[in-house]
Amino acid sequence: MIRYIYGSDLHRFPTLAASMFRDRADQFKTRLGWEVEVDVSGEERDQYDDENPLYVIWEEPDGRHGGSMRLLPTVGRTMVNDHFVHLTDGVRIQSPLIWECTRFCLARGARPGVAAALMLAGGEVMRSFGVAHYVGVFDARMVRIYRRIGSCPEILGQQGEGRDMVAVGLWEFTPEAQARVASSAGITPELSRAWFELSFNRAAQVAEVAA
């Protein structure tokens, strides 16, 4: 299932959180060879994890991380504005209606539907919170994944070639795109909505506990 968890609430999901940060180390350092910091317990974190981001996480039935992404509003500190302005024509992308999506990560051996489920969840956030666009940094490998799940970003700018390509892109989420992504995720829009409600509707959670 998909969970939406703020950084300040990750401690309530210790297994999920620890496996997410370890899978991030595995993806970004071991597999992609990015220069990221991995701590003694094998977890990858950066300065943006300290900004109380909203994590969108696929939780496997055993409670472990299957895939995730990290959202931050562009009115605060973002990776794109701090490090990649040269790829956006020098434009600092800032608006409460544009959020940054970074650290899109898939656990080793994650089922094909997980990436699509995360994109679908991104759509729930957009529709419910008034977000018009996501902006994010991604690499060549992700382009193939995005294409497969039917949610290709619009590339604002890129550097490097082939495997070393890094780009800043943006996503919108049209109803057509949602239908495509839902079908490749193998998740009904109703189920996707129900997961969203479970994370953000405290009243629904209370009703569930009371029932």
Partner 1 sequence: MGFMANVPRLDGLIERLESADALDDLQGIIEELRDDLGVDHVVYHWVNSNGQQYGCGTYGDWAVRYAEKGYLRIDPVVQGCFQRFHPVDWKRLDWSGKAARAFLRDAIEHGVGNQGFSIPIRGPNGQFALFTLSHNCDDDTWEAFTEDNRRDLILVAHYFNQKALELEPGRTPEAAQPLSPREIEAMTLLAVGYNRAQAADTLSISEHTLRVYVESARFKLGAMNTTHAVARALSRGLIVV
28 or 195: whose CB is closer to partner 1?
A: 195
CA distances from 157 to 5, 87, 103 (A): 30, 5, 18
Q: Which stretch binds partner 1 (CB under 8 A): 34-42, 62-70, 86-94, 107-115?
A: 86-94
Angle formed at CA 57 by CA 121 and CA 76, multiple of 5 degrees: 80
Scanning residues 135 to 174, which ones bind partner 1 (CB under 8 A)? 135, 154, 156, 170, 172
Looking at residue 13, what DSSP letter applies? S
Nearer to partner 1, 75 or 179 (CB): 75
**C-beta separation of 93 from 76 below 8 A:** no
Q: Provide DSSP, 115-176.
A: HHHHHHHHHHHHHHHT--EEEEEEEHHHHHHHHHHT-PPEEEEEES-GGG-EEEEEE---HH
Could you please report the per-residue DSSP string of 67-100?
Answer: EEEEEEETTS--HHHHH-GGGTTT-----TTEEE
- What span, in angstroms and rounded, lies between the C-alpha atoms of 22 and 64? 11
Q: Which of residues 17-46 bind partner 1 (CB under 8 A)?
A: none
- The verdict on 73 binding partner 1 (CB under 8 A) reads yes
The nearer residue to partner 1, 32 or 198, going by C-beta atoms, is 198
Nearest approach, Cβ of residue 93 and partner 1 (Å): 5
Q: Hey, which residues between 185 and 204 contact partner 1 (CB under 8 A)?
A: 200-204
Show the tokens assigned to 206. Answer: 């209370």
Return the number of the residue (97 or 179) whose C-beta is nearest partner 1: 97
Which of 47, 94, 159, 188 touches partner 1 by CB under 8 A? 94
Q: Which of 62, 130, 144, 176 binds partner 1 (CB under 8 A)?
A: 130
Per CB under 8 A, residues contacting partner 1 are 6, 8, 52, 54, 72-73, 75-76, 89-98, 125, 128-130, 132-133, 135, 154, 156, 170, 172, 200-206, 210
